[in-house]
Amino acid sequence: MSDDTRIARMKQKAWSMLDANQPDEALAAFRECVELEPGNLNHQIELGVALYKLGKSDECLEVLDKILAVDPNHILALNNKARILIDRSQPKEAMALYRQILSRDPKHIRTWIKAAQLMASLEKYDKADSCIQEALNVSPNSPELWRERAIIARNAQHLEDAVKYIDRALEQKSTEFESLREKANVLAALKRYKEAIDAYKSALRQNKDDVEVKVSLGFAYLADNNPKDALDAFEAVMKEHKNNAKVWEGRGLAFIATGDLPRGYVNRGTAAMIDKKFDEALEFFNQAIEANPNFPEAWSNKGVLLEKMGKYPEAAEAYRHALKLDHAAVICMHNLGMLYINHLDKREEGLGWLKNTLKYDPQRWFKLPSELRNAVDNAKYADEL
């Protein structure tokens, strides 16, 4: 087997191991490639990328600096180092590396785009636009460049310019998903919601699985005073993305707009809880209870929140209140049982509530911690205690 073949197979093995969450084996394989062919800087670049993906940015920087010691103008190494510096909130240092690349290769469009994005992140929109204009001098018909210019203009609130730029992008490639999405975003920013809805739908025809567009479509329906379609849009996303705070927030606003205040406040509270805004979440759950004191979901979610806040007696009270309203609330029984066992030193009561869950959901026995299974089998039901 030739060295080239061996290295190619080793490289393939390294990436496969990285994808399989075997970091030590993957890095060992990347390093072996470097040892087999130390003069090939591409092997070192790939080692650096792997280290970055694994969150080992210090080690990645060491690799990049070794490359730059050999080739100070290595474009990929400079770009990758700039990415790390941006992550570390060192934009000036990152921009200096982009300038170094562009001084050597003023036609390097990807670097102009990255420099523009960096300037835009600092809200230096005029400088960001100047970067894109420089790139357009190189490639005047690039849909990506016109789209990037539209994004910068939208963020700078130059919305009419953004419309012109995104239309230029779509003139070059009318079915490009990213440009259709940005067209919709610009129209929504202009409060032209019906047109934005059509544009989001066009984008979804190109990429039906994009969560961001689905969520944006829901909010566009809300803004267009169409809460029922908004609710359908959010529900569709909720089936696969239950921990998306924006979806819960949009769903909550849609319920409120249809007049279902308790459910709306519970959804908004859940969104705040996902974002770890616990005080805000508690206010929403209390609003739900005020709107309908007999809504068990509000009490149950309040219990979950209070437990996260470390307010265990209050959480237990909320769970018990929920169970008075819905005797078959299995998750509530489970949560109450585990709360009693783990935090309130009431093991027998906790086991009783866990046993109650098995009356309604026998399969839940297999989800219990193994050390509790026998104890639950031998416990009394909560209503017998």
| Residue 384: predicted pLDDT | 65
d(CA 323, CA 339): 15
How long a stretch of residues is the chain? 385
pLDDT for 200: 98
Q: What own/partner pairs with CB < 8 Å and gap ≥ 24 does 205-211 have?
A: 206/175, 206/176, 206/177, 206/180, 207/177, 210/177, 210/181, 211/237, 211/241, 211/244
Predicted pLDDT at 267:
98
Query: How far, in Å, CA of 166 to CA of 180, rounded?
Result: 8
Distance of CA 317 to the CA centre of its chain: 34
Dihedral, CA of residue 232, residue 236, residue 241 and residue 244, to nearest 10: -20
| pLDDT at 153 (0 to 100) | 98
Query: E strands, 145-282, where?
Result: none
> What are residue 294's phi and psi, to 5 degrees?
-105, 25
Q: Which two tokens stand for residue 173?
A: 């490639």
Structure confidence at residue 136 (pLDDT): 97
Q: What is the pTM of this model?
A: 0.85
User: Which domains are present in the chain?
Assistant: 1-70 (1.25.40.10), 209-293 (1.25.40.10), 300-385 (1.25.40.10)
Distance of CA 132 to the CA centre of its chain: 27
DSSP 83: H
Q: What is the DSSP letter of 237?
A: H
The parts of the chain modelled with pLDDT lower than 50 are: 1
Region class of 310: left (phi > 0), else alpha (psi between -120 and 50), else beta: left
124 exposed, middle or buried (CB, 10 Å; 0-12, 13-18, 19+)?
middle
Interval 125-134: pLDDT, tens = 999 999 999 9
